[in-house]
């Protein structure tokens, strides 16, 4: 009887954790603009500067359009240079050894929507892992698992904004949230990774949503 009680308690606690994870994700979506507004989002234009290392600083523009079109452009010596993107068929990235943009057949485009939108239908499993601090802010920690891939997300316990995301090869931190239309967007993004010279800080001064891009915007 005691063993049955322990099993019952474990099952109930796991269900509670799963429910809590779902509630946290739902609150994040609601607090950042609502599911309808996120699903009506068709394009994003980001503009600002990216800081590499200590001194290297470049103007940057990022174009994104549903379902998975993307293009990242930095300005070097007054000239716009595409360094990465996906045109709907092929993926491209800068080869810094040759200083040329080249096609990458293994390029896997990211989904336009973040992982939280329809996460259950995408095949993710969510698990609540308790509270942890990000800097001085207490956050809810949620694990999303798909196949063998696990990502960890940290949501501010007060605002439910996403403050930190840990992937296999990269950790991203988000701050300076501002309202763009009906949506809350981070205007400061920091990345750290195990890759050599892969760390950067991106400071945005403009974010536009549902902008109609010229037809050749994603050509390389």
Residue 151's φ and ψ, nearest 5 degrees, are: -120, 150
The tokens for 219 are 């050509």
pLDDT tens by residue, 77-134: 889 999 999 999 999 999 888 888 999 888 888 889 999 999 999 999 999 999 999 9
Alpha carbon distance 145, 93 (integer Å) = 28
Q: Say if CB 164 and CB 134 are below 8 A apart.
A: yes
What pLDDT was estimated at residue 11? 44
Q: Is the pLDDT of residue 2 over 90?
A: no
pLDDT confidence tier of residue 158, bands split at 50, 70 and 90: very high
What percentage of residues in the chain have a pLDDT greater than 90?
Answer: 74
What pLDDT was estimated at residue 17? 47
Q: Is the pLDDT of residue 15 over 80?
A: no
Q: Is the pLDDT of residue 9 over 50?
A: no
pLDDT tens by residue, 134-152: 999 999 999 999 888 899 9
Alpha carbon distance 60, 202 (integer Å) = 9
Q: Say if CB 65 and CB 42 are below 8 A apart.
A: yes
What percentage of residues in the chain have a pLDDT greater than 70?
Answer: 90
Mean pLDDT of the chain: 90
The position carrying tokens 């050599």 is: 196
Residue 63 vs residue 1, higher pLDDT: 63
What pLDDT was estimated at residue 21? 95
What pLDDT was estimated at residue 23? 96
What pLDDT was estimated at residue 1? 52
Report cis status (omega within 30 of 0) of the bond before 107: no
Q: Is the pLDDT of residue 68 over 80?
A: yes
What pLDDT was estimated at residue 197? 66
How many CB atoms are closer than 10 A to CB 129?
15
Alpha carbon distance 100, 98 (integer Å) = 5
The position carrying tokens 């500067």 is: 49
């Amino acid at each position: 009887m005691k063993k049955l009680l322990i099993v019952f308690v474990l099952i109930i606690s796991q269900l509670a954790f799963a429910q809590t994870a779902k509630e946290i994700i739902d609150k994040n979506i609601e607090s950042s603009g609502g599911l309808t507004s996120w699903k009506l989002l068709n394009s994003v234009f980001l503009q600002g500067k990216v800081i590499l290392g200590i001194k290297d600083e470049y103007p940057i523009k990022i174009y994104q359009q549903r379902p998975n079109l993307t293009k990242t452009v930095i300005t070097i010596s007054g000239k716009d240079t595409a360094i990465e993107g996906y045109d709907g068929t092929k993926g491209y990235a800068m080869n810094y050894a040759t200083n040329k943009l080249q096609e990458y057949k293994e390029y896997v485009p990211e989904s336009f929507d973040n992982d939280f939108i329809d996460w259950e239908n995408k095949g993710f499993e969510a698990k609540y892992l308790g509270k942890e601090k990000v800097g001085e802010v207490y956050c809810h920690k949620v694990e999303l698992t798909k196949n063998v891939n696990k990502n960890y997300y940290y949501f501010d316990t007060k605002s439910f904004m996403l403050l930190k995301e840990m992937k296999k090869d990269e950790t991203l931190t988000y701050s300076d949230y501002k309202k763009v239309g009906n949506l809350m967007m981070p205007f400061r993004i920091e990345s750290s990774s195990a890759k050599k010279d892969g760390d950067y800080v991106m400071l945005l001064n403009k974010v536009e949503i549902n902008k109609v891009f010229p037809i050749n915007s994603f050509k390389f």
